[in-house]
Amino acid sequence: MRILSTAFLCALLMSLHAWAQGVESDPRGAVIPLMSARDVFYADVQRFQDGQLSEPQLVERIAEQFAPLVNQDKMALRVMGRHARVATPDERTRFTTQMQASLVEAYAQGLAGYGGEVLALPEVATILAPGRAVVEARLEAPGRESLPIQFALSFEAEQGWKVENVVVAGINLGMSLRTQFDDLVKQTGSVAGAIDAWTLAAVRSQ
């Protein structure tokens, strides 16, 4: 379920920029990009299941569009945490690429476990401050308890609302990844070693 939830995150990020324009204090505007991206996800999965898209084609589509949809440098710095201060510019860039690749891989693996779950979104977000919002959603499936998912978003003037972090059933994705990166630094003895070891398999094993 955690892999599937990560897949939902990647899919939602996939098309945020196309619908993300809005006012930084508009609670409705903060939800619209999530709703639109959710629908794109469902449409793509249907095309995949109907044989119109192969899995490599779908993964390639995600990889091509994922990078420009979030502030990758900011995300990478958050996951690296205190280690970002001692990392070289090249190491920070390299980790950004590694992290993006692991999330795309998580999306691909999540497709295999997709069973028709529905992401239920509220009509409006909670505006924490101008340019910062939280959307409380639920992943629902027949015969199973729904899974709470909280999206943290920020507003950028040129690109609108963008997801910054996700909390799935109380598990903070950003903090979890930061802990895992810190563990890899300790295991390998260096930031460079942690970056080299950062794969989906390594992260899941922590």
- For 87, the 3-state DSSP assignment is coil
| pLDDT at res. 186 | 94
| pLDDT at res. 195 | 94
| pLDDT at res. 190 | 95
| pLDDT at res. 16 | 53
For the cut 60, the answer to whether the pLDDT of residue 185 exceeds it is yes
Task: Map out the domains of the chain with their CATH numbers.
Answer: 2-204 (3.10.450.710)
CA 66 vs CA 1, 46, 204: distances in Å:
21, 20, 21
Q: What is the pTM of this model?
A: 0.76
- Reported as a single tens digit per residue, the pLDDT across 72-114 is 777 788 899 999 999 999 999 999 888 877 776 776 666 656 6
